[in-house]
Copies of this chain bind each other. A is one copy, B any other.
């Protein structure tokens, strides 16, 4: 297909301002820029731009704005909701060359990075200064700080340090027309008018492109102890959570709940023996941080002993070495094996914590009523009220394509969720894939307010258009 003249004119402008090496188009665009981890089929963008520094991001956006061409910002492309999926009619703007760690300020406990720095590189820079970045997640080696902020990433540390939003002290953001908002202030407290940076965090690149960030760091804990804990029922998991939070205020670093379906499957896949002699309805992997490994191990044993006396805990193993801790964590990290063993239909929902147990049961009952052979694994960051459910599309029978299966399971689960006022996305975002269901979690008045804000900051709808919501008043599909 021949490149249209309007596109060539845009490319000319981009090349003349950013240089030949910073712009690709047509077949020169490498496949890795054409898809994210969401499983959506690849899309070749109109052009791919690789700015070398934040100022070039502003230049690229100004040029695209002048040509009225939409722009899709690309971070590490590890998103599961399709928020960074390229579009045929849009320029893809890769942030990966903005990979400078600009400052680690030990006195202030802050880290200033460009948007394309990977989460892992940021973590390592903090660590080298004896500090800790509060967010961690499986894609750490590929995902980028800009994308983590744009999607308000969650992950493993939320129960202790909050989401990515809570780590952000300052941002630099470029608006659709190339205007630079310099909000790179490192202060913890700053009540000078609207806290603009909050609008961009979690807006999935639809309001502005994040180019730099100042992140808050925490003192690195000197000790860290994990335990695997067996529980009789869901209510005991909440009681254990509160007991550990009271025993280790501010120091409970993880509280991961696994239903028996998840736990047994994980052991089967890994061919590991359970560290506990029998099966239990629920298992929790908990981690606490402190100053002294031996003292902390003792304290955790004491706390779990107390929980056992109260009947909350049936059995427990406290890791006595880092190797043992890793082997416990391996059970939880079976999620990385999902694509190998399943055709996964994934959910990332949140609910008031006391409803999660019932809701998980209700989902499995409804799925089983419809598909007696259905296989669903349940697990979650219980400390954050975040439940993950993964149904194997193949367990629903051969009569459905994986797409049909996903669609039907989603309709069922989100309808049950909407009845309880839950959230269809606790941490993964909406992107493209959850857009049809957004109304299950947001009222029409909220959606109208989002659209008003989008139009105020990006009146031509050029930034990542069609992600999260469409600008028409009616979403394409009504909620069940």
A residues apposed to B, CB below 8 Å: 105, 107-110, 151-152, 154, 158, 160, 162-163, 165-166, 175, 179-183, 185-196, 198-199, 201-203, 207, 218-219, 221-222, 238, 242, 245-247, 249-251, 289-291, 350-354, 381, 384-386, 421-430, 434, 438, 441-443, 445-450, 452-453, 455-457, 468-469
Using A107-B238, A108-B354, A182-B445 as known contacts, say yes or no to A193 and B426 having CB atoms under 8 A apart: no
Using A188-B350, A429-B191 as known contacts, say yes or no to A449 and B249 having CB atoms under 8 A apart: no
* Residue in B154, B202, B421 whose CB lies within 8 Å of A185: B421
Question: How far is the CB of A78 from the nearest CB of chain B, in Å?
Answer: 15
Extra 11 A-B pairs, beta carbons < 8 Å, given A191-B428, A247-B291: A108-B354, A163-B189, A185-B423, A191-B425, A194-B203, A195-B202, A199-B453, A219-B246, A221-B249, A249-B290, A455-B456
Q: Which residues of B contact A381 (CB under 8 A)?
A: 189
Closest 3 CB pairs of A and B: A250-B250, A456-B456, A198-B198
Bound form: Cα–Cα A315–B61 in Å: 57
Whether the pair A158, B189 counts as a contact (CB closer than 8 A) is yes
Q: Which residues of B contact A422 (CB under 8 A)?
A: 187
Chain B CB within 10 A, most for which of A180, A187, A203:
A187
Whether the pair A182, B438 counts as a contact (CB closer than 8 A) is no
Whether the pair B191, A427 counts as a contact (CB closer than 8 A) is yes
Bound form: Cα–Cα A449–B261 in Å: 49
Using A189-B426, A251-B250, A453-B456 as known contacts, say yes or no to A443 and B182 having CB atoms under 8 A apart: yes
Whether the pair A187, B352 counts as a contact (CB closer than 8 A) is yes
Question: How far is the CB of A157 from the nearest CB of chain B, in Å?
Answer: 12
Using A219-B245, A221-B249 as known contacts, say yes or no to A446 and B158 having CB atoms under 8 A apart: no
Q: Which residues of B contact A222 (CB under 8 A)?
A: 246
Q: Which residues of B contact A192 (CB under 8 A)?
A: 423-425, 430, 434, 438, 441-442
Question: How far is the CB of A142 from the nearest CB of chain B, in Å?
Answer: 19
Chain B CB within 10 A, most for which of A162, A175, A186, A354:
A186
Whether the pair B446, A189 counts as a contact (CB closer than 8 A) is no
Chain B CB within 10 A, most for which of A201, A428, A434, A441:
A441
Question: How far is the CB of A411 from the nearest CB of chain B, in Å?
Answer: 17
